[in-house]
Structure 1
Amino acid sequence: MSTPLTWLRSFEAAARLGSLTLAAQEVGLTQAAVSQQMKALETRLGVQLLQREPRGVSLTGAGAELYRAVAEGLERIDGSLARFVRRDARELRVLCNTSLAVRCLLPRLPAFCAAHPEVALQVRTALWRTDALGIDPDVELFLGPDRSGATGAIPIPGGEMTAVAAPAVAERLGRGAGGVRTLAVSGFDPLFEAWAKAGASPRGAAGEPLVSDSFHAALTLAEAGIGATIAPRLLAAASLATGALVELASPPRHQVLVYQCQLSSRPSDPAVAFRDWALGALAAPPPAP
């Protein structure tokens, strides 16, 4: 027997707000009805989800695990339904790869906002495109194999990989000194394995490689002098310009990845304006800090 969606919406609201009373107000039920739903849900699953406290409720371990899954699922459902709702023509939803957003897009974004004050802009970020199911963006900026001919996406220069390190770390590598970590990025194992096989990655590292979940994190660690990494040149450009990072020997050629900008199937005027602005802004030198 399937679990009623109304129970899950009530559970998500109670977990997020920490209160059955506030959850009841949000979902349009009485507090008693929400309380009965939570008891029924716990009975159905055979675990306690909420810890009742004098001033509200808190999640148990099982409740926290369920909340993450339910919140993500409801967000995807709401995002899918939103596609069929008539939207304000001024609204613009942008989905951007997290590293590209933090390193390149957000520092340049004030210029777009100043030029287009009439646009109601929403910016969402995701490490991987699969993390963004249900968001339905008007404009998407992502890193991946070049499929511009098939999808209509426009390539953004700077996706080629470069090896970088802080100047002091680069100097140590130049002297053949050991104790330098490889700063790897999860999901790009073949790239870093090829770097190691080519003999270009740091040797005699102090322990195992340090693995992070994004190129932004790896570059931040490299700037702090913790090790050396490989990243798209576009992401490293600002740090290379300021001298916070320097380039090492070129990494071996791997699968060609390209940053791309893609519009939805029915682009609005704000979406076209943003795409045209982003392509020019990201190709220009990074703004001064």
Structure 2
Amino acid sequence: MATALPPLNWFRAFEAAARHLSFTAAADEIGMTQSAVSQQIKALETKLGVPLFERKARGLALTDDGRRLLPQVDAALDTLVTATRSFIPDQPKKLLTVSVSVSVLQWVIGPTLPAFRVAHPDIALRFIGAIWPDEFSRSLADVIISFGSRKQAGPNAALLGSGKLIALAPSQMDTPWDTIPVIDTVGISGGWSKWRTATGISCADPSIYVDSYGAALDLSSNGNGLCLVNETLARHAVQSGSVVPVSPITIDANEAYFVETNPASQDAETFRKWLESTVGDGE
């Protein structure tokens, strides 16, 4: 049986950290958190059975094994870039790349994008979808619409829309709230108990679990149960009539959606202003 290779992301993290001699700089380049880069390199070291870096108080230094591995990883990554380049179609000269939460793409941008395209037909768009903070391609994007905490978003990102959660129910489900299935979003600060306290409304314990607010909203709009999602995502779904608010009361969330743009790109600024106008002023 062939030996299983480590994931490609581990090698990307190693190459970037080796080039910068910094986990933080590597994280900024490849769109991950510093802790994620550190964990991936630690996993690669464990897999290979050797240390690749010396962790020093003022930075990193490659070990002998790290110096031996680096040129081979460089060559392999260059080969992959060359091999894939011929498959990538020519891009238009004016292309705006948007790294975006898939939930925002589905529930905020998707329903309103035709209006942007009519107003700005000269701007071609490429969307790179992501869910968790480590997945956002910061080095590639002109606009970054990320999900996470204020700290994860960074000092240059602005809150997009609302930082509150609202409970929604399928519009066709006319039964008592406490008998309807409840959908919960895992990996995010729990809110159902706080919502029950704030509203005084009883509901069942969660029995369906998903990994994003967008997925929870999609399930709820298709009649699967109550969901508790970011208020900004809910607006189009409520307006279209696929879901209805269980209560007008909202609760604060520890995570929200944030937008950041490349200051050198006028098109990025145009897209940001349009997007913020579609979601209103948030809180």
Instruction: Report the TM-score when normalising by structure 1.
Output: 0.59
Rate the CA distance shift 1:259–1:189 in 2: closer, same or farther, 3 A: closer
Tell me the amino acid that sits aligned with residue 235 of structure 1: L
**Bigger-Rg structure (1/2):** 1
Q: Residues 91-115 of structure 1, C-alpha deviation per residue, up to 9 Å, x if partnerless? A: 3211111101111112222332333
Query: What is the match of residue 238 of structure 1?
Result: 236
**Counterparts in 2 of 1:208-247, with a 5 A limit?**
209-247=207-245
Q: Residues 107-126 of structure 1, C-alpha deviation per residue, up to 9 Å, x if partnerless? A: 22233233333334211110
CA separation in 1, counterparts of 2:154 and 2:136? 21
Whether the 8 Å contact between 2:163 and 2:253 is mirrored in structure 1 is no
Whether the 8 Å contact between 1:92 and 1:270 is mirrored in structure 2 is yes
What displacement does 1:139 show? 0.8
CA separation in 2, counterparts of 1:278 and 1:190? 28
Query: What is the match of residue 279 of structure 2?
Result: 282
Query: What is the match of residue 202 of structure 1?
Result: 203
CA separation in 2, counterparts of 1:106 and 1:171? 31
Rate the CA distance shift 1:140–1:170 in 2: closer, same or farther, 3 A: farther
Tell me the amino acid that sits aligned with residue 203 of structure 2: P
CA separation in 1, counterparts of 2:174 and 2:226? 8
Rate the CA distance shift 1:92–1:155 in 2: closer, same or farther, 3 A: same
What displacement does 1:241 show? 1.5
Query: What is the match of residue 272 of structure 1?
Result: 269
Tell me the amino acid that sits aligned with residue 115 of structure 2: A
Tell me the amino acid that sits aligned with residue 99 of structure 1: S
Query: What is the match of residue 159 of structure 2?
Result: 155
Give the secondary structure class of the aligned counterpart of 2:228: strand
Whether the 8 Å contact between 1:144 and 1:259 is mirrored in structure 2 is yes
Give the secondary structure class of the aligned counterpart of 1:95: strand
User: How many percent of aligned residue pairs carry the same amino acid?
Assistant: 23
What displacement does 1:156 show? 2.6
**Counterparts in 2 of 1:163-178, with a 5 A limit?**
163-169=167-173, 171-173=175-177, 178=179
CA separation in 2, counterparts of 1:75 and 1:88? 30
Query: What is the match of residue 251 of structure 2?
Result: 253
**Counterparts in 2 of 1:42-121, with a 5 A limit?**
47-48=1-2, 62=4, 66=5, 69-70=7-8, 90-121=94-125
Give the secondary structure class of the aligned counterpart of 2:226: strand
Q: Residues 65-92 of structure 1, C-alpha deviation per residue, up to 9 Å, x if partnerless? A: x58x2278559979759xxxxx987232
Tell me the amino acid that sits aligned with residue 271 of structure 2: F
Whether the 8 Å contact between 2:99 and 2:138 is mirrored in structure 1 is no
CA separation in 2, counterparts of 1:231 and 1:154? 19
User: How many pairs are equivalent?
Assistant: 209
Query: What is the match of residue 88 of structure 2?
Result: none
Give the secondary structure class of the aligned counterpart of 1:143: strand
Tell me the amino acid that sits aligned with residue 162 of structure 1: I
Query: What is the match of residue 186 of structure 1?
Result: 186
Whether the 8 Å contact between 2:165 and 2:253 is mirrored in structure 1 is no
What displacement does 1:250 show? 5.4
Q: Residues 190-225 of structure 1, C-alpha deviation per residue, up to 9 Å, x if partnerless? A: 22343466664523x6xx621011111111211222
Rate the CA distance shift 1:73–1:186 in 2: closer, same or farther, 3 A: farther
Query: What is the match of residue 23 of structure 2?
Result: none
What displacement does 1:137 show? 1.3
Whether the 8 Å contact between 1:170 and 1:248 is mirrored in structure 2 is no
Rate the CA distance shift 1:134–1:151 in 2: closer, same or farther, 3 A: closer
Query: What residue ranges of structure 1 are gaps of 5+ in the alignment?
Result: 1-46, 50-61, 82-86, 285-289
Query: What is the match of residue 54 of structure 2?
Result: none
Whether the 8 Å contact between 2:164 and 2:250 is mirrored in structure 1 is no
CA separation in 2, counterparts of 1:224 and 1:215? 14
Rate the CA distance shift 1:106–1:244 in 2: closer, same or farther, 3 A: closer
Whether the 8 Å contact between 1:143 and 1:258 is mirrored in structure 2 is yes
Whether the 8 Å contact between 1:159 and 1:259 is mirrored in structure 2 is yes
Instruction: Report the TM-score when normalising by structure 2.
Output: 0.61
CA separation in 1, counterparts of 2:94 and 2:13? 23
Give the secondary structure class of the aligned counterpart of 1:96: strand
Query: What residue ranges of structure 2 are gaps of 5+ in the alignment?
Result: 17-28, 31-76, 78-90
Q: Residues 25-44 of structure 1, C-alpha deviation per residue, up to 9 Å, x if partnerless? A: xxxxxxxxxxxxxxxxxxxx
